[in-house]
Amino acid sequence: MKRRAFLIAGAGAAALLGLDLALTLRRPTSPALMTGVVWQLHAGALDPRGDWDLLGARSLLLQWMVADGTAFVPGLGLPLIANAPNWQRIAREPWARSIIAGLAGSFNEPTARRNVAELAALSARIAAKPLPFEAAGFYFPVEADPTWSGVADLGRLLAPIARPLWVSAYDNSNVGPGAMADWVSSWLPADVGLFFQDGVGIHTRTPEAARAYATALSERLGAHRFKLIAEAFRPAPGGSFRAATAAELRPQLQMYAGFDVFVFDGPHYLDRVMVQDLLAG
């Protein structure tokens, strides 16, 4: 073999070796600590970047594509936020191989619940629009809990929205796993899935108690209709929140082994340093 051909072949082999090494380094930890990440879009969080795939994330849940009348995705017939996300880049990320697209919501929960009928109608319209990425499903971002009397109307309001469809619920009242499963079953349509917020971030319950909720809900709804949201934040002085430490988050995620776990939220609370800390553990 001539020297030039040898060098080219050697460079090609080195490139393949480098690519293989890069792919190996980006494989998730075993066992994976999460299935996906949640991204709560707002004006200060429009360019999500992270290494969540190293922890097992392959799915991205968008909190919403429209919030309070402002669109984060072009082509929805609503005013588009300035410096909108680069959806082509995001859709190529290894942690966004599957995107569940949140529909129309509000930053304020009481406002969202008060306007739930209008938000559901808008959500049905935008779910039918072409998107700059392929949606694996949709999410209606008006969150439910047992104190919400209007939840009884949700099944009817969700009927026109495209499937697959998901909603979320939480329990700050600590009604208990069985009662929570009974309550969810009383209003959730049979063809809609549930994201359950674990409540650990605000110390409503321990990870062990959250797993008991997850078990009850998954058994009642079926595993294919259930996903668990792990809150990656903790209370901070002054009524704000901070990112959980690796020592706090690791046992929380390990406790949820066997469930589809989405971390809330990746761009805000789970940076690359935290990912490395979790991998090191």
Q: Residues 146, 180: contact at Cβ < 8 Å?
A: yes
Dump pLDDT digits (tens) for 95-114.
999 999 999 999 999 999 99
Q: Residues 50, 267: contact at Cβ < 8 Å?
A: yes
Mean pLDDT of the region 204-213:
98
For residue 30, is pLDDT > 90? no
pTM for the model stands at 0.90
Measure the CA–CA gap between 2 and 217, rounded to whole angstroms.
67
Dump pLDDT digits (tens) for 39-63.
999 999 999 999 999 999 999 999 9
Q: What is the pLDDT of residue 200?
A: 98
Q: What is the pLDDT of residue 5?
A: 33
Question: How much of the chain, in percent, has pLDDT values that exceed 70?
Answer: 89
Confidence of residue 27 (pLDDT cuts 50, 70, 90): low
Q: What is the pLDDT of residue 97?
A: 98
